[in-house]
Amino acid sequence: ADVLPSQLLELAVAAAREAADLVARGRDGAGEHVGTKSSPVDVVTAVDAASEALLVDRLLGARPDDGVLGEEGASRDGTSGVRWVVDPIDGTVNFLYDLPAYAVSVAAEVDGVVRAGVVLNVATGELFTATSGGGAWLAAPGRPVRRLAVTGPSALDRTLVGTGFGYRAEQRRAQGEVVARLLPRVRDIRRYGSAALDLCAVAAGRLDAYYELGLNPWDHAAGALVAAEAGAVVAGLPGTSPGDPMVIAAAPAVAEEFLDLVAELHR
């Protein structure tokens, strides 16, 4: 595909900003909707679907030959070599509870490789962006834009670890057991509730490492590029089944040890 990552990023940011406005308005009205009959899940589903529809409309409106993959079912093969991978609200449960960690995530793959990514925290307005080779950036309201560069600790017992749990009960049980064994080995554990923001947190030095089993592409596509471009080691875990891919991002000095430990605990 004959397009620059920076051009894809520009389009992704514009679409994500519009979607974030829509999600924010949906959040404001969420109480009323619950009050009138719709179940809380219905509210989320309606806003999710509307946000995804808007993203698809803006992205494919500008680039009609592209493909798209979205959490709410958008799926289309394009002919241009570019495919958009979108999560209209990553952190749906946080959205529902008004916990300020839910994001619109938009990634652009070129010939199957993610080249541009945007994660926009709807509640805080923090905008994380990255292009392959162009670095990772954070634009926070009222603060100068800054380039993200991971430093992080050099020992596992000073590593603040983020993780998350998929929605399948059996997988949650197994993950709970792994966490119980991981916790005594690291500084502490956080469960933020949005995989996209977890990966950006590694990029911003708010977490030193993050791992999760069973993520979907829309959860990690943009955030993983942000983490990698900030200098985090991003890897899948060898030996996990293709249906349950594990995504790991960690500060360079602890990455190998962390990866080995997580692999050992999952055996």
Residues that bind ligand IPD in the complex, under the rule CB under 6 A: 71, 87, 90-92, 164-166, 193-195, 212, 215, 219
Q: Shortest gap between Cβ of 85 and ligand IPD (angstroms)?
A: 13
Q: Is 90 within any annotated ligand binding site? A: yes
Q: Is 48 within any annotated ligand binding site? A: no
Could you tell me which residues come within 8 angstroms of residue 173 by beta carbon, excluding any fewer than 6 positions away?
none
The residue (of 130 and 246) whose beta carbon lies closer to ligand IPD is 246
DSSP line for 123-185:
TT--EEEEETTTEEEEE-TTS--EE------SSGGG-EEEE---S-HHHHHHHHHHHHHHGGG
Q: What's the token pair of residue 89?
A: 């609200």
CA-CA-CA-CA torsion sign (10, 12, 13, 18): positive
Q: Is 77 within any annotated ligand binding site? A: no
**φ, ψ for residue 98 (rounded to 5)?**
60, 30
Closest C-alpha to 259, from 200, 182, 194: 182
The residue (of 51 and 129) whose beta carbon lies closer to ligand IPD is 51
Q: Shortest gap between Cβ of 92 and ligand IPD (angstroms)?
A: 4
The residue number whose beta carbon is nearest to ligand IPD equals 164
Give the span between the Cα atoms of 164 and 219, in whole angstroms: 11
Q: Shortest gap between Cβ of 221 and ligand IPD (angstroms)?
A: 12
Give the span between the Cα atoms of 211 and 246, in whole angstroms: 7
Spacing of C-alpha 34 from chain mean position = 27
The residue (of 110 and 247) whose beta carbon lies closer to ligand IPD is 247
The residue (of 1 and 232) whose beta carbon lies closer to ligand IPD is 232
The residue (of 159 and 194) whose beta carbon lies closer to ligand IPD is 194
Q: Shortest gap between Cβ of 212 and ligand IPD (angstroms)?
A: 6
Q: What's the token pair of residue 61?
A: 């409106």
The residue (of 26 and 164) whose beta carbon lies closer to ligand IPD is 164
Beta strand 67-70 pairing with 82-90: parallel
Closest C-alpha to 119, from 228, 221, 230: 221
Q: Shortest gap between Cβ of 253 and ligand IPD (angstroms)?
A: 26
The residue (of 1 and 212) whose beta carbon lies closer to ligand IPD is 212
3 state DSSP class of 51: helix
Could you tell me which residues come within 8 angstroms of residue 178 by beta carbon, excluding any fewer than 6 positions away?
262, 265, 266
Q: Is 109 within any annotated ligand binding site? A: no
Q: Is 257 within any annotated ligand binding site? A: no
Q: Shortest gap between Cβ of 176 and ligand IPD (angstroms)?
A: 13
Residue stretches of the annotated binding site for Mg(2+): 71, 87, 89-90, 219
